[in-house]
Amino acid sequence: MQAISVEKPNLPEPPTFSTPEEERLHRKQRLAAAFRLFSRFGFNEGIAGHITARDPEQLDCFWVNPVGMHFGLIRVSDLILVNHKGDVIAGDRPVNQAAFTIHSQIHAARPDVVAAAHAHSLYGKSWSSLGRLLDPLTQDACMFYEDHSLFDDYTGVVLDLEEGQRIAQTLGNNKAVILKNHGLLTVGHSVDEAAWWFITMERTCQAQLLAEAAGKPEPIKHEYASLAQSQVGSHYMGWFSFQPLYEMMVRQEPDLLE
């Protein structure tokens, strides 16, 4: 019996850039699309929430949303550039102080991180009140298996740089941190990756809350959870998983690129 040969599909690869200007525009386009997606998924909560993208040339600066602007309205031209001192370098709108306090310290502590995402999403903040890490209950949950932390020290709105530093230390080399009594924060080597981790982590919180409300869920065994983490939790898979969402947003809301 002749064996059947199955060719591996040619999967897309993250883009490369010839100039910092090209890379900057790409990051800002992804950032604007991520905010639109967060709006669609209901991650808005008043003026709370922020996603940042490190500038490819000025590495001590990051692009972020203006405070008080609805996620669903953000365009590329609305993004502001902030340095690690909190000064607005580009743009004429104010920055969220908590965004600066948290993200500046994460970007400083993790040179590998291009983007970080935080919002007061419903299931993320509900789960955060339990003061627990997520369990490997599903294949999707395994993206975060032994790859997320718990910051167990809520002291109010994060306005102190020392607290931002402690959050960064607790995050460590992981892709996400649960901020107790606050919500979720994810990071990535691209805007795409950081945004996707947040979206799927929010759903993972929802799934575990539902499972525990219905009964006593059975977690995946360690060896298989670790295997699944390597299969679905890589930087590439985080980037790739965001691509269909980006394409949808650009087609349905092309003004985000303005």
Here the tokens at position 242 are 């965001």
Reduced to 3 states (helix: H, G, I; strand: E, B; else coil), residue 116 is: strand
pLDDT at 54: 97
d(CA 11, CA 142): 22
**Under 8 Å CB-to-CB from 146, ≥6 apart: which residues?**
226, 229
Phi, psi of 91 (to 5 degrees): 110, 160
Q: What angle do CA 67, 191, 127 make, to 5 degrees?
A: 70
Q: What is the largest CA-CA distance in the chain?
A: 70
Q: What angle do CA 118, 239, 65 make, to 5 degrees?
A: 35
pLDDT at 86: 85
pLDDT at 134: 98
User: Can you give the pLDDT of all 258 residues of the chain as single tens digits?
Assistant: 444 444 557 889 999 999 999 999 999 999 999 999 999 999 999 999 999 999 999 999 999 999 999 999 999 999 999 998 888 999 888 887 877 888 889 999 999 999 999 999 999 999 999 999 999 999 999 999 999 999 998 877 766 788 889 999 999 999 999 999 999 999 999 999 999 999 999 999 999 999 999 999 999 999 999 999 999 999 999 999 999 999 999 999 999 999
pLDDT at 189: 98
Q: What angle, rounded to 10 degrees, do the helices at 191-214 and 235-252 form?
A: 100
C-alpha dihedral, 95 to 55 to 26 to 40, nearest 10°:
-30
For the chain, the C-alpha Rg in angstroms (whole number) is 18
How would DSSP label each residue in 120-159?
Answer: --HHHHHHHTT--PPP--STTGGGGTTSEEEE----SS--
pLDDT at 5: 45
C-alpha dihedral, 255 to 113 to 51 to 137, nearest 10°:
110
**Under 8 Å CB-to-CB from 248, ≥6 apart: which residues?**
none
